[in-house]
Amino acid sequence: MIDDKLKQLFIDIKLDCLELILAKDVSISDLSYQLGISNKDFYNRMKSTEQDFSFYLKMYYILLKWR
Amino acid sequence: MEGVLEKSLAEEKFEKLLLQEQQDLENQARLLSNSYQGAHVLLSKGNDDDQFNVYGLLQNRDLLVSLEPSLSDQFDILQYFYDNNLLDVDQVLIAVNNIRSHKTMLRCVNEANKTVRELNSVQKKIKASKSMSDSEKASRVLRSKLSDEEKVDVLRAMAYRSCAHSKEEKVDVTEDVVSSDLISTLRNSYAQVIEGVTPYLSKYYSKVAGLPPEMIRYYESAIRIYEELKKEGREEELSGKLNYDDMRLSLSVWHAIDLRGKIDEMLKGSVQSVEQFQQVQNYLSSLSSSFETIKSLDDSFSQEKGVSGERQVYFLLDNDGKPFFDVSKFSDGEKRKVSSLLKKLHDEGNSDKDMKSHPILVPKKLPHHMYTLRSSDFLVSYIPYNGDVLVLTFGDRRNIYEDSTKISERASSLIDRTIKSMKSQSPAFVMAQSSFSEGLDSAVSLGVGGLVK
Q: What is the pLDDT of residues B110-120, one digit of tens each?
A: 887 778 778 77
Cα B400 from chain centroid (whole Å): 31
3-state secondary structure of B314: strand
B242 and B230 Cβ atoms separated by less than 8 Å: no
**What's the pLDDT score for residue A5?**
86
Closest-CA residue in chain A for B356? Answer: A54
- The architecture CATH gives domain B313-445: 2-Layer Sandwich (3.30)
Domain boundaries, chain B: 24-123, 132-305, 313-445
B56 and B44 Cβ atoms separated by less than 8 Å: yes
B19 and B144 Cβ atoms separated by less than 8 Å: no
Residue type for position B437? S
Strand order in the sheet with B378-385: B313-315, B388-396, B378-385, B371-375
Rounded to whole angstroms, the Cα distance separating B357 from B400 reads 19
CA distances for B451 relative to A25, A57, B439, angstroms: 41, 34, 10
B60 and B89 Cβ atoms separated by less than 8 Å: no
Nearest one of B328, B171, B351, B190 to B261, comparing CA atoms: B190
pLDDT per position as a tens digit, B1-48: 444 456 677 888 888 888 888 888 888 888 888 887 888 777 776 666
**What's the pLDDT score for residue B148?**
80
Residues of chain A predicted below pLDDT 50: none
Rounded to whole angstroms, the Cα distance separating B354 from B209 reads 15
**What's the pLDDT score for residue B305?**
56
Residue type for position B139? S
Considering only CB atoms, A13 lies closest to which of B218, B371, B397, namely B218
DSSP H or E stretch at residue B370? none
DSSP state of B369: -
- For chain A, how many residues are written? 67
Residues of chain B predicted below pLDDT 50: 1-4, 164-175, 307-308, 349-354, 447-453
Is the four-CA dihedral B438, B440, B446, B448 of positive or negative sign? negative
Rounded to whole angstroms, the Cα distance separating B212 from B394 reads 33
Nearest one of B178, B427, B431 to B281, comparing CA atoms: B178
B172 and B179 Cβ atoms separated by less than 8 Å: yes
Question: B389 pairs with which residues across the strands?
Answer: B313, B384
Given an 8 Å threshold on Cβ–Cβ distance, is A36 in contact with B372?
yes
Rounded to whole angstroms, the Cα distance separating A50 from A17 reads 16
B312 and B217 Cβ atoms separated by less than 8 Å: no
Pairing of strands B371-375, B378-385: antiparallel
**What's the pLDDT score for residue B103?**
87
**What's the pLDDT score for residue B51?**
67
ipTM beyond cut 0.85: yes
Contacts of A65 in chain B (CB under 8 A): 210, 212
Residues from A in contact with B at Cβ < 8 Å: 2, 5-6, 9, 13, 16, 33-38, 41, 44-45, 50-55, 57-58, 60-61, 64-65
Rounded to whole angstroms, the Cα distance separating A36 from A55 reads 11
Contacts of B360 in chain A (CB under 8 A): 36-37, 54-55
**What's the pLDDT score for residue B367?**
66
DSSP H or E stretch at residue B384? strand B378-385
**What's the pLDDT score for residue B252?**
93
**What's the pLDDT score for residue B376?**
76
User: In a mutagenesis test of the A interface, which of B206, B207, B223, B225 is the best target, namely the one with the most A β-carbons within 10 Å?
Assistant: B225
Closest-CA residue in chain B for A60? Answer: B215
Q: How many CB atoms lie within 10 A of CB B86?
A: 11
